[in-house]
Every structure is written in C-alpha cells, then in structure tokens.
Chain A
Amino acid sequence: MTGFNVLGMRLRQAVCENWILDGVSVTSALEHLGEAVFDPELFSKHENAIVTAWNEANPAQRITLKKKRGLYGVFQFLNLQKA
C-alpha cells in the first residue's frame, strides 16, 4: 500500500497512515476497509461493493471483508500498532 485515491469516500487518516508505514498489502487493506471508513453515520456503506468488485476483477486473489467496523476496531488496530 503506497497511497489512496478514495473517489469521494472519507477515510480515517491514522489508519491509512499506519497501513502505508507497515506496507500492508492491498488485499489486507481492502479486507479491513471497515476500520478506515470515515463517512458520516447513517450513510450507505460501500465496503461490500468494493470487495465484490475486487473479487470479480481478481478471481485468483479472492478476499472476504473482515467485519470489524466501528471505533472499537479502529482502537484495537491503532493500539496494536503502538505495541
């Protein structure tokens, strides 16, 4: 992961930054996309559509969305990075 073009979605900077620093793979970032989503509450969620599109385009590298959405997931992720 080297950078982002989120096409109007809002992503959480701290999470994205850590992804770049850790050099995580695109597939791992997409699987954990829920942690980075910063769109306002009650807005429609796009993670599933994005993951589905990836799977259609890359049948060899199928991924599944890890359901760890929400602030708890973010906190867990960021604390993990610090440790």
Chain B
Amino acid sequence: MAHVALADKGQELAHPKTWIGAYVWSQDHKVIGIQYIITATLVGLVALALSAMMRLQLGFPGVFDLIQPNEYYSAVTMHGMIMVVFMLTAFFLGGFGNLLIPLMCGARDMAFPYMNMLSFWVYLASVIVLCASFFVPGGATGAGWTLYPPQAITEGSAGSGMGIILMLVSLALFIVAFTMGGLNYITTAFQARTRGMTLMRMPLSVWGIVMATILGLLAFPALLVAAIMMLLDALLGTSFFMPAISDLGEVSSTTGGTPILFQHLFWFFGHPEVYIVALPMFGIASDLISTHARKNIFGYRMMVWAIIAIGGLSFIVWAHHMYVSGMNPYFGFFFATTTLIIAVPTALKVYNWVLTLWQGNIHLNVPMLFAIGFIFTFIHGGITGLFLGNVAVDVPLSDTYFVIGHFHMVMGVSPFLIVFGGMYHWYPKFTGRMLNDTMGKIHFWVTFLGTYAIYLPMHYIGILGVPRRYFAYGSLDSFPDSVHVINTSITIAALIVGTAQLLFIYNLVWSLFKGEKASSNPWRATTLEWQTPDTPPKHGNWGPELPVVHRWAYSYSVPGAREDFIPQTEEPSENTKGDVH
C-alpha cells in the first residue's frame, strides 16, 4: 500500500549532496524547523526593540525623544502583530511543530517535504515584506495590531499608505505559508505514525500542536477574507468596510461600509489565534512538567479531551473582544457565557499540571523552572481573562492598561516561558550540546520576576483608567502621580527583562560551540525523539528500521521498573511489568 511506503521510505528520501541542499533549500523537517526558529527569533528581536522604544517614551516622556507619535503607533502595531503571528505562531507551529511532530510520532519526515520547504520560504517572504514596511513612505501601519478600519486606511493616520498594504500582503503570504505547513502537520500526525503509536500514545505536545493547526487552518481564512476586502477598499475604492467619511468638509468616495464587519472577521480569526498559540504551549508544558517531575501526567485522557474541547469552543467566543463595539445584549450574554465555559477545560489543565507536580520527584532544572513559572503567569493571566469576559466588567476596563496586563500575562509571557522551557529542553537533541545552566537560571529568574514587575502594575494603572495606545499622558489631573512613577518603574523593569533575553540569545550561540556535550537522552525522557540512533538525528531520523512503540509517553517512576523511566520503544519485560495497573 502506498501509505506504508510513505511512512518507511528511508531509501526514498532524497539526501542532499551539497551544503546548500542540506541547509538552505532543505526538505528535512529538522532543518526547516530550525530555519523557522531562527527567523521567528530574529523578527521577535525586532519586536522586542520596538517595545523598548515604546517603554522609553512612556517611562521618560520627552527625555529620550527616540520616536514621534506616528512612529509610536507604528511600533505598537508592529510589536503586536509580529509577536502574535510572526513570532509565536511561527515558533510554536513552524518551529516546534516541524521539529517535534515527525520525531515524536516516529516518522522519517513530514508527509509532503517539498511543500514543507515552500512553507518556510513563503513565511520568510512574509517576514521580509512585513519588515520592508518600516522603510516605505509614511512608515509601517499604525492602526494597532487589530488593524481596525476606517482608521487603518484613512489618509492622515500613521502608515495608512504603503504601510497597511504591505502589512496585509504580508499576512496573506503568512496564511499561505501556514496552510502549506499545516497540511503537513496534520497529515503527518494522522497518517505517518510508526507502528504502535496510537493516537492515545502521542505525547501531549503533538496533540497541542495538531489541534492548534486545525484551528489555524479554519481560522486564518477569516483574516485572509478581511485582508482581501481591506486591500480592495484601500486600493480600488470599494466600500466593504469604509463608511462615508466627512473630513474637513470633504466627503470621501466610500459609502455605507461597515467597520463592524471587519471586527467580526478579524476576531473570528483573532480569538482562535489565542488558542493557536495556547494549545502548543499547553502540550509542551505538560511534557516538560511530566518529564522533570518524573511522574506520569495526571489525567492524560482528560488533558487530550480538554485540548479538543478548547479547540471546539474557541470558535464561539470571538465577540467578547467587541463588547464596546455595540451588540445585541443577548449576544453579549451568549459570548460572556461561552467565555466562562471555555475556562473550565483550561482550568482543568492547570489542576492537572499541579497534580502532576504533587509528590513528584521534581528536578528544578532550567526547563522545569520555566514550566513552573508558566503555571503562575498563566493562572494570573487566565483569571484576569475571566474578569474581562464579563460584559459589565469589560466595558469600563476596555482599552485600558488592565487589558494590556491581562493579555501580556496570558499570551505574551506564558507562551514565551514555554518557548524558553522548550528550547532548554530540546536544544541538546538538535545540537548535541547542553545550554549553559547558570546563564539559563539567571535568564529564568530575571524574566520571571521581571515580567511581574512589568505587568502587575499595569493592572493597577488600568483600574485607575489609564488608556492604552497613548503616546504621552501629560499631566492629567485624573491620574494620581503614582501613575507616572509606575510607568517609569515598568520601563526600567522592561529594559532589564529585555537585556536578559539577549543573554539567552548569547547562550544559544555560545553553547553551540562551548556547551557541555549532551548524551542522546540527557533528561532521561520516554518519548521517541530521545531514542534516535544519532544525536542530533540524521536525515531520515531513525537509521534502517523505524522504531516500534510499546507503551504510552508517560511511563515515569513505574513501580518495580529498573529505572525511573521506560522509553516508549522498550519492549515489555519482567522489569516493566509494573507499568500495567
């Protein structure tokens, strides 16, 4: 049968002969994953630099004078869009997805390696187009990451010329790249698993990434539809979103368009997008916690169902971003209810992580520190989400720093902690060297405590009513002086945390050459990627024979077993009998 040949096509893989074939135009999922990670990291650093400029402006207004108001708006927009789409989505799905899915499922490569390669190059093109928008006349778009029309394309607002056009083109390219990658992730996870790897033996990382891919494939078209229609509004004068606008006595040629339609389309993508980032984060966190607590994940089946349930529910909560746009009160009630319901499977996952830690043999190494730190930040960000999910609470808090504090905690800091945890965890497998432990611990503590110094005060000034997206606040009587003091302290904390990320980058490069040599399974983990014959795995991953899976991914501290972990590939024997309960 054709599909059998696909899963075990060691001989059929085209092994590249040249350096360029192996590392540039590579069809190897590991190289593509690393290409994704490097690109996402670089563009993430751009976004980090933008936030430093914004914080300097807010913390010390008028002192540094690095950016003008229009550039501030561009910085706000680009920081948000880069971090959410081009950094986190690309990193989790393009990066970790590519690295982990074939290895964890026991496949030699992705189902369609050529399309996988194209996916990366189109992604790179989207990043280049996006970054080019900094340099066009009028600068990058300053419409906020939500790109709401009419402001986004109305003459006079920041980057309303070429800036917004390039942003929309870049997003369209990203969606094409994501679709090509996504077809691979799903087909590989469902069709190319090795013998014995049933769905319920897959590590939760794979579950999270695959479900996130399903969400992405169904939700990104909404953004594409919105982008196509906005491009037509901006370039060809249609009125999908653009209402009639009277500006200084001049009436625009557009008539009767509805910005609310854009908001629906944007958030129909935008809310699942939160879970496109969150589900891989949940999955990877589960694997980090279980491995480093030397204990099976608590409630594996419940964890899988929670991922599936969150995926399904994430499509019917989008309008909770639009309470202030005006809607039928019954709709508001509906969306508030679904928002609270989606918290149930999410909370269930949190309980299960904590219960996995309970009485585990916790190894406080760097990946584990990040995973435990993530539980804290995610609970904080999640709980404030419950506040904002209620219409009556959301309306006064809308567009204040409370919202900024909330979403940075829940989908900024939390996924980044897992990105870092995952990098410290899997770096040895893909480079053959360990990351430096001391630098890792400094990185963790500065980042973890620092983010609290940044985002907790934001909740406070948000409750005081300080609005987001302001270039400078001047001396408004309605804010107490503490707001200015807090803004300064947030900036100082942000600069320190930002610098700590450079230490991480330095560690990544330094360890590549000087890091301690890693054994093939340094964390004594059970999953398949740690059982490869070579470290780093060669093209084709598995040598002549594909691995055969004999058990689930979480056989840690099995009573009566020789060691405190049993690899998924180990055949059942007297020593492992304790595995059966």
Chain B associates with chain A: no
Interface residues of B (CB under 8 A from A): none
